[in-house]
Structure 1
Amino acid sequence: MPPRLHLLSRASTPTAHTTYIPLAPFLYPSITRIHVQQHQSRRSASILSQLSDTKGAYNKRIRVGRGPSSGYGKTSGRGHKGQKQHGKVPAGFNGGQTPDWVVSGTRGEKQHFNTQLSPINLNRIQHFLNAERLDPTQPITLRELARSRCLHGVARDGVKLLARGKEELTSAVHLVVSRASKEAIAAVEKAGGSVTTRYYTPFAVKKVLGGQMDAVHSLQSRIMLDIATNSEDSEGAEATEREAATATEIVADERRRYRFRLPDPTSRKDLEYYRDERHRGYLSHMVAEGKGPSLFFRTPGTTKLGKGKDGSAASKVKKVGGAEGGRVW
């Protein structure tokens, strides 16, 4: 076979070294895109071998006592002998020794004056008024709030009125709640309504929601209100007999309408709250003019009446530290 002379001549001919010619700038994005696509394809292929469930999405029940291959066979992960293998150990059990909670006691775990109240805001009340699910012509109590689903359940101690969305309140409403914030009271009264804070026990909340107890008046308040409304200019035995007859009639009507009577507060803390006019308490009418709601302290700046030298009533102010009208307790 004759030799391939053209190949030999080409191999013996010296070739010039090729020089590097840079690419045009407009080709850079396309090359970069191709490189990224190749890298992503390789990356996605490597991720396939590392896929796993989201943490907590798959919870397989561990079957113990099914052989040694699972790691929970034979003793089922409980070890050998002892109380922890044979049964359960109560929390805080010290093997018969006096528990720590008996020796040291428990402290700081109870809040004796804690109250659990359901919050209700003014914008939600206005929304239900616009939807005609609340009647603004009648007093709105926790019973109406629960029945209209404005509140989804009432907490143990009642309802607290808050002022969120107070600029949306345009209707004059009369609210009877357990507690109310200062801003909420001002917003309701600015719209022409009123707020009255009323005392409720946990038992009273349940019975009011069930329709077995009056949501506003206790028996004593109904008697006093009826006597004050129907009072005439009569004195002596006739007025006493009329009041007794009125009280008897109200008691009979109370028994017909409700099974339970709405209680009044007995503790000093609750009495002072509902005697305070700033809280719009329903017992604020019992506080004399110039007096404070406190049952223990006198109101600063009040005067004490005494007799002057001539025997006439004169005003005397007790001096404390040389200042008049200061502390009097």
Structure 2
Amino acid sequence: MSTNITRALKMLKNLPRVNLSNLRPLPGNESKKKDLSQRGKYAGGKSGRSDKGQRNTGNLPRLGFEGGNTPFYMQIPKEPFYKGWHARKSYKQIDMHFLQRMIDLGRIDPKFPIDMASITNTRLFHVNVEKKEHGFWLTEAGADSFTSCINIEVQWASEVVIAAIERNGGTITTRYYDPLSLLALSDVLRFFKAGKPIPRCHLPTQDVIEYYTNPKNRGYLADPDLIREDRWELSQKYGYTIPDVDAEIEKMMAIRKDTRQVFFNLEPGWIVNLKEKCIYKPTDSEYVEYYKS
């Protein structure tokens, strides 16, 4: 007797706990639901449907219909603040104090140009394209304590941030990327493993074209001569002198991407094969002309 009790207790111990997710009726006690689409099977008549109305015909009103009354969304006044909200761009914010900390800890190498791929490769920041995030916004926090000489590319920056970087001999460029290019830059390893060709970056949309063509914002579409003049004017405004740098650092500071280029040293249309450690380049004249146009 004791052996059977022990065996039963052991079986109960191994059984899952009873909860709402694993409750089931006994076999044979389930009532079959009527398939109302087949009216001839259930004694004719209304076949389980009501006499009149929506339950009988199966027609429901459209979404937002309030029985003929003026709908709620038409009664409230229009708010111009939300005009064009679906097309507004958001940016992931990075302050200069955290940027200096990443450089000091070795997560970012200041000897090479810094772009969105360099920041996302640290695994500390991620750009969510589905939530309409269009890159990084370098904020002013920690601008007084920033001491690194870097060549950085971001999507949005203020005048104080530009002055803090150029005060140390560095350069900054504000750059626009379309959604396909953002997907490639947000996760470089995943994009290269997919075996897709590097996309050709599109030009800015109409709402931001003025920002990226303004030399005061260091836009990548601005005139280089006007940017050089504005660098001197900004140094006079904030009272600093742009320091001289070595020839190698000056050469690194002059590195820029083409307007259609997404990655440094990689052209649009190329396919990076990580497994074979090689790069496939298009040879057809039509493809070459398309990616270079």
- TMscore range, shorter length: 0.3 to 0.5
TM-score (norm 2): 0.47
Larger Rg: 1
Highest RCO, 1 vs 2 (Cα 8 Å, sep ≥ 6): 2
TM-score (norm 1): 0.42
